Amino acid sequence: MTQEKFSLPKYFQFVQSYPEAFAAATCALLVIFSWFFLQLNLIGLALFILAAAYVIGGYESAKEGLTTLWSEKELDVDLLMIVAALGAAGLGLWQREYHLIIDGAVLILIFAISGALETFAMERTERNIRKLMGITPDTARVIINNQEKQVPINELKIGDLVLVKPGELIPTDSIIFEGNSTVNQAPITGESLPVDKTVGDEVFAGTLNGNGVLRLEVNKSPESSLIQRVIRLVEQAQTETPPSQRFIEKFEKTYAKIIVISGILLGILPPFLLGWSWETTIYRALIFLVVASPCALMASIMPTLLSGIATGARQGILFKNGAQLEMIGEIKAIAFDKTGTLTTGKLQVVDIIPAKDKSEKEVLELAASLESCSEHPIGEAIIQTAIRKNIQWRSATNVAAKTGAGITGVVDSQIILVGKENLIRSEINTGFNSQLLAESNRLQKQGKTVIWVAKEREIIGIISVADTVRLEAKKMINQLKYLGIESIVMLTGDNKQTADTVAQHLGINIVYSELLPEDKLTVIKRLQQENKNVAMVGDGINDAPAISLATVGIAMGSAGSDVAF
């Protein structure tokens, strides 16, 4: 088993898949060995190993630099780095100062590591885009002449009827033709609660159907669906070059030209103008190339960036690369997703208000009796609260879910209703006292969802559930303001009332609600026009395009964070 695990074919497969990483690792080992042999005064062996380090580590940079020179007639820092490294090697051989040859190898190693990290980042981007594509099923159940047929998603046509059973992912954007259900749209829109859907409502690909059976009519081609637009937005945002990066790239080309031309002039003119010997002239020209190489600057910056990256890792923060760490210091505005970022992303029971002469225990016990038979997120929140309070609920019979309204059942031969106000009103015409109605209205204005509990024809009380704010969120917002962040913005696909309640609690003044992923992208672009450097913090798939476009994208949490990153 051990031999199979470390077999040569897998080793060669790694080399083939990650040639830049292999080159960087090999170059690093060769540099270390060469230094060791120099200490032992084995000069010939050390020089041979250093030559191999130059070739293996510098191959990609030399190829890119020469390709740019040949095809675009431009000089870039890759070519300048190779010239500087060769200059250092030449100086070392000339002056028999072999440590200079190692310095040149270290410059090559830095570029080799940079190339390997860039490759890893690009592959991660491609992998995450594939994850986005994997959110939707590969096939759909199409109804043709009252018969079900599995059809590949890309073969769906406008007007096709698609059957979606309980618990299945919706295959493409469409309109409900028949049936009703609750749909969990959190991965796409960021809404914290499942949304009630009925005939005529639009549903999105990649969202999760609840307990109802839906017949859908395809109203747009699969490639025009919301999730496909998200994928295209992510791809586009990943390839867009920020203005600061365009400036750096332009500066690098100009800088490389100036240094190379200056080096050539310094290697030719001094003997004629200043009377230097050719030996002194060439020596000083090579020194100029080595010192003027931007690798010297990179070598001074790298330890600081690595220290910051290592410190972040110990705190559970992973940086994509050193540039992201550097750009964070320039951020002037931060946009936060709400659900799962500023909030926990999970529903919790917040209030239990019993009717007169009733107790919280009785309200929670009756609600748990019915909700123990339900898989709805609200029911899960009620059950978890009952468990936490050590409440033993009784078994319910004849339990029936009323899609979009609530649930009914029988406990101890008594009919129990647990659901929204309209369900209770349809079953009970009396018993709505003003106190509970006032409390219900108050709670709903706070963005909470109110569940009524009734026994036979008597209302027992109400329970409110909500996606609660993270305990550390308010402190974090205040600290960001103290650090000088000029604009703190909240973006969410949730409704305005809920969004405003969370923002007010946290002290956030700028709120954008009821947003689709492309709307978040538009807000980020607007903030960049106003503030230039903008960070976007999110945790879901719906945040991915905005995170990709922002000056610094910050993916957090667990649900969808890989894709968001």
Using CB atoms within 10 Å of the CB of residue 471, give its burial: 0 to 12 exposed, 13 to 18 middle, 19+ buried.
exposed
Alpha helices in 18-98 (DSSP H): 19-39, 43-71, 77-95
Q: What is the pLDDT of residue 561?
A: 45
DSSP 543: G
For residue range 44-96, list pLDDT tens digits in order.
888 899 899 899 888 887 887 778 778 777 776 677 777 778 877 887 887 78
Average pLDDT score, the chain: 78
Whether the predicted pLDDT of 123 surpasses 70: no
Nearest to 377 by CA among 285, 466, 496, 265: 466
| d(C-alpha 374, C-alpha 210), whole Å | 11
Q: Which letter, b or e, does each residue of 134-147 get, where b requires 16 or more Cβ atoms within 10 Å of its Cβ? A: ebbbeebbbeeeee
Give the contacts of 271 (CB within 8 A, at least 6 positions apart): 277, 278, 281
337 is annotated as an active-site residue: yes
For residue range 320-370, list pLDDT tens digits in order.
655 677 778 888 889 998 887 888 877 888 899 998 888 899 999 999 988
Percent of the chain with pLDDT over 70: 78
Would you call 240 helix, strand, or coil by DSSP?
Answer: coil
Residue 172 to residues 175, 218, 260, Cα–Cα distance (Å): 10, 7, 56
pLDDT bucket at 490, cuts 50 / 70 / 90: very high
DSSP 394: P
Laid out side by side, the sheet with 181-184 consists of 195-197, 181-184, 208-209
Whether the predicted pLDDT of 5 surpasses 50: no
The reply to whether the predicted model has a pTM over 0.75 is: no
Q: Which domains does the chain have, with CATH numbers?
A: 15-131+243-293 (no CATH), 139-224 (2.70.150.10), 312-342+470-564 (3.40.50.1000), 346-468 (3.40.1110.10)
- Choice among 76, 337, 467, 543 that is catalytic: 337
Whether the predicted pLDDT of 137 surpasses 80: no
pLDDT bucket at 208, cuts 50 / 70 / 90: confident
| String of DSSP letters for 131-174 | HHHTTS-SEEEEEETTEEEEEEGGG--TT-EEEE-TTPBP-S-E
